[in-house]
Structure 1
Amino acid sequence: MEKEYGGRPSGPPSIFSFIWLIYLVFPLYTFFDQPIDQIVEGLALLAVFVAMYLYSFRRLQGRFYCVLGLIIIIFIFCLKYDVSYLYFGFYPSPIIGMLRSKKQMVISMMAMVALFISVGWESKLYLDSHALIQLIPAVLIMLVLPIALRIGQRSKDLRERLNLANEEISRLSKNEERQRISRDLHDTLGHTLSLITLKSELAEKLVLRNPERAIQEVRDIQQTSRSALKQVRELVSGMNAVTIRDEIVHAKQILAAAGIVLDAKGDSNHVIPSPLIDNILGMCLRESVTNVVKHSRARTCSIELVEQPGILKLFVTDDGKGTDTVYNPAQSASSSPSTCNGLKGMRDRLKLVEGELVFDSAMNKGTRLLFTVPLVNKSVGEVEVR
């Protein structure tokens, strides 16, 4: 059984099949120079031609036989009425490029070539240089058009398959990274946390019976917890952390691909003192830009990073269609739309650094997201316990 090319019907939108029917008006005058019986016969053949043409444009089943039928009708028109009906070859030509298999396409193109040669020979077109000069370019276009459509559809299918493959690779990479993190956390922290739990239970039992031993166990717990903290830092440092600087570069690429102009304001190279804040704002920026591309229909998008005394602000603004939907942080994920789910996820990330999210949008007036996080002196965070 022959496979459908690309796994589905291909070709231009069906609206094109109606547009080209207007050109059927011009050759009709040749019918009315004939006797009444030949006029009826010609109009009946033309009606069959139109029906087969429209059907083949919309249906894959029987398309090959419709193409052959169209070529046969063109041959009859050329011999019975006028050789100019060869230009009707423009009707089956694009449909040949939409056929199910290469074999059907080759047979149809051979039938087209046979049509041109037989009509040209029967009508002695080779003796009329003026007619040949007019006809040869049209014939070449009719023969090249199916190949061009086939190549274009194949390129489109390859791009779609490549995008699907890239998405699958990205998904598998994320899953592998999650599994790696899970294994590392289990291997590095599982044993340590179990040890801390056992020693704390032992210290609780010894605190009254043997205070000195209990104190030693507490010191061991402190040392073990410091070791666990070091392991966590090593684990986190081994991950590829998302940064605002990297996400602005990525945003420029994805927005350009969507036809949206990026206006990056502020100092994107500004050094953020906390890697955690840099990572969280980078993830929020990624989610915001994704929403702009998917939902906004914007022409421009601006990203601005502003540092003020004690706080850091990140603005993401677009001039898209906006929305009248009011963002309710308390709305459940199951009942909220996908955009609100994204906003809720960003708000949950900001909670880790006591940040805030302000969502401002109105219908046909665009959308603005403001991320605000406090900047904390790093030296205040660590206190040594003795």
Structure 2
Amino acid sequence: MTERGQFQLFPKSQGFFPYVWAVYLVLPILNLRGETGVKLILGGIMIAVFAISYRQLYWVRGGVFYVWLTTQMVIIVVLSLFYTPFNLYMGFFTVNFIAYYTENKGFKIAFTSFVVMVLSVLVLVGRELEWVSIMFLIPFIVIMLIMPFGVRSMHQHQKLEKELDQANEVIKELVKREERMRIARDLHDTLGHTLSLITLKSQLVEKLVTKNTERAQEEAREIQRTSRAALRQVRELVSEMRAISVAEELAETGEMLRTAEIALEVEGDISLEGVSDLTQNILSLCIKEAVTNIVKHSRADKCFIGVAKTAGEVRVTVKDNGIGLQNGERCNGELSDGNGMKGMAERLSLIDGSLSLSSEEGQGTTLIVMIPLIVKEATGGESA
């Protein structure tokens, strides 16, 4: 509950909310005015026990929770029957706990018991009340009986948003881990090979320097070219580690395609406002992979990239007018073994995204990437 040696009246996670509600415990005390003797003392004791139960219900769970909840309802019945029916308003405390801290089965049992308690009190005291008093009580009772459903719905919404935030954090960590693994594989497969080649050529130059100077110079120049290629690979890997938006990626893509003499046409709102950095980063990596494939393999002279965002998803279409997938390569929704398609699918699976690849030989290739959006309604929230 709390660390040893420390006392907390209410959980810090609840903020000032419990203290605000506690102020209303003054009202049943005021309702004791005019009482004397044993009835006054017993009334004071019951209100004190009710206050204790109010504090305890924020901390306890399980069977003890329902013991305190039942204690509250018994006190409300006694104070309403033997003091004043207006003490029924204390039921607002009870329904608040029923709404927030009971599960489905417990909620049904606790709420049914509460309704029975309220109706029983009304039946027993209703004949003694004037119509004015009854009409005054009815709105409060109606609100009291409706309140658990509204509070429960709000609580579940807050809980889902918290779980959504936690899930997004897990996804971000998974994406980071997957990117680290990919970079490690790239370092091993590409840079490792390049460095091994530099080592071998350096040994060769060492042997040739006294025997064949021209050959040694040529190999030395080859080492320079290889080392520059290695440096470029490192820069590419480092740049891919930085989160990048779709708009930024499309700007870089335009430069790459212009260099390859491929015309680029972009359609749609590339800013993707409200779409999370995580989603934009994965989309950017997919666009980069798709455009790299077009430059390397398609023999196209035109490339179309469409970006569309709806309430439920964001869709990116990358299309070229190249030679298409050749015989033996799979398409129409099935992923090609090469060209980084499996890497795209793995990244997209982390955020429930999907892709489809379609092509007809000689008529270009179309790649469609789809990622669902989960819109948070809370103020300041964003799509994930």
What is the TM-score normalised by the length of structure 1?
0.53
For 1:99 and 1:145, the matched residues in 2 are separated by: 14
Residue 30 of structure 1 deviates from its aligned partner by 4.4
Structure 1 partner of 2:24: 20
Structure 2 partner of 1:167: 169
Checking the alignment, whether the CA contact within 8 Å between 1:10 and 1:153 is kept in structure 2 is no
Structure 2 partner of 1:188: 190
Q: What runs of 5+ residues in structure 2 fail to find an aligned partner?
A: 1-10, 250-269, 276-384
Q: 1:48 to 1:246 in 2, by over 3 A?
A: same
SS in 2 for 1:28: coil
For 2:48 and 2:238, the matched residues in 1 are separated by: 73
For 2:226 and 2:96, the matched residues in 1 are separated by: 74
- Which letter maps to 2:26? I
Checking the alignment, whether the CA contact within 8 Å between 1:11 and 1:153 is kept in structure 2 is no
Deviations 1:324-378 (A, max 9, x none): xxxxxxxxxxxxxxxxxxxxxxxxxxxxxxxxxxxxxxxxxxxxxxxxxxxxxxx
Checking the alignment, whether the CA contact within 8 Å between 2:57 and 2:69 is kept in structure 1 is yes
Q: Are 1:31 and 2:35 an aligned pair?
A: yes
For 2:19 and 2:149, the matched residues in 1 are separated by: 21
For 2:221 and 2:13, the matched residues in 1 are separated by: 73
- Which letter maps to 1:53? Y
For 1:182 and 1:241, the matched residues in 2 are separated by: 18
Structure 2 partner of 1:103: 105
For 1:30 and 1:246, the matched residues in 2 are separated by: 75
For 2:29 and 2:79, the matched residues in 1 are separated by: 15
Identity of aligned residues (%): 37
- Which letter maps to 1:60? R
For 1:227 and 1:40, the matched residues in 2 are separated by: 90
Structure 1 partner of 2:307: none
Q: 1:94 to 1:224 in 2, by over 3 A?
A: closer
Q: 1:22 to 1:186 in 2, by over 3 A?
A: same
For 2:241 and 2:101, the matched residues in 1 are separated by: 50
Q: 1:326-341 alignment to 2 at 5 Å?
A: none
Q: 1:297-316 alignment to 2 at 5 Å?
A: none
Structure 1 partner of 2:65: 63
- Which letter maps to 2:137? L
Residue 28 of structure 1 deviates from its aligned partner by 0.8
SS in 2 for 1:14: helix
Q: 1:233 to 1:109 in 2, by over 3 A?
A: closer
How many residues get paired? 242
Q: What runs of 5+ residues in structure 1 fail to find an aligned partner?
A: 1-7, 255-386
The partner residue of 1:85 within 84, 87, 90 is: 87
SS in 1 for 2:114: helix
For 1:240 and 1:59, the matched residues in 2 are separated by: 46
Q: 1:198 to 1:161 in 2, by over 3 A?
A: same
- Which letter maps to 1:48? V
Residue 55 of structure 1 deviates from its aligned partner by 2.5
Residue 139 of structure 1 deviates from its aligned partner by 0.8
Q: 1:223 to 1:63 in 2, by over 3 A?
A: closer
For 2:128 and 2:32, the matched residues in 1 are separated by: 26
What is the TM-score normalised by the length of structure 2?
0.54
Checking the alignment, whether the CA contact within 8 Å between 2:28 and 2:87 is kept in structure 1 is no
Deviates more, 1:112-121 or 1:230-239: 230-239
For 1:53 and 1:242, the matched residues in 2 are separated by: 51
- Which letter maps to 1:92? T
Structure 1 partner of 2:310: none
Residue 44 of structure 1 deviates from its aligned partner by 2.9
Structure 2 partner of 1:119: 121
- Which letter maps to 2:29? V
Residue 138 of structure 1 deviates from its aligned partner by 0.5
Deviations 1:33-74 (A, max 9, x none): xxx233333333333333323322443352221121111122
Deviates more, 1:196-205 or 1:229-238: 229-238
Checking the alignment, whether the CA contact within 8 Å between 2:95 and 2:144 is kept in structure 1 is yes
Checking the alignment, whether the CA contact within 8 Å between 1:9 and 1:98 is kept in structure 2 is no
Residue 233 of structure 1 deviates from its aligned partner by 6.9
Residue 231 of structure 1 deviates from its aligned partner by 5.3
Q: Are 1:43 and 2:47 an aligned pair?
A: no
For 1:197 and 1:91, the matched residues in 2 are separated by: 77
Structure 2 partner of 1:365: none
Q: 1:219 to 1:29 in 2, by over 3 A?
A: closer
- Which letter maps to 1:162? L
Q: 1:140-159 alignment to 2 at 5 Å?
A: 140-159=142-161
For 1:105 and 1:210, the matched residues in 2 are separated by: 90
For 1:216 and 1:53, the matched residues in 2 are separated by: 87
Q: 1:187 to 1:128 in 2, by over 3 A?
A: same
For 2:231 and 2:90, the matched residues in 1 are separated by: 79
Residue 119 of structure 1 deviates from its aligned partner by 1.8
Q: 1:140 to 1:210 in 2, by over 3 A?
A: same
Structure 1 partner of 2:341: none
Checking the alignment, whether the CA contact within 8 Å between 1:17 and 1:57 is kept in structure 2 is no
- Which letter maps to 2:97? I
Checking the alignment, whether the CA contact within 8 Å between 1:11 and 1:97 is kept in structure 2 is no
Residue 227 of structure 1 deviates from its aligned partner by 5.0
Q: 1:341-352 alignment to 2 at 5 Å?
A: none
For 2:216 and 2:248, the matched residues in 1 are separated by: 50
Residue 165 of structure 1 deviates from its aligned partner by 0.9
Structure 2 partner of 1:349: none
Alpha carbon RMSD of aligned pairs, Å?
Answer: 3.6
For 2:221 and 2:158, the matched residues in 1 are separated by: 66
For 1:80 and 1:91, the matched residues in 2 are separated by: 20
SS in 2 for 1:148: helix
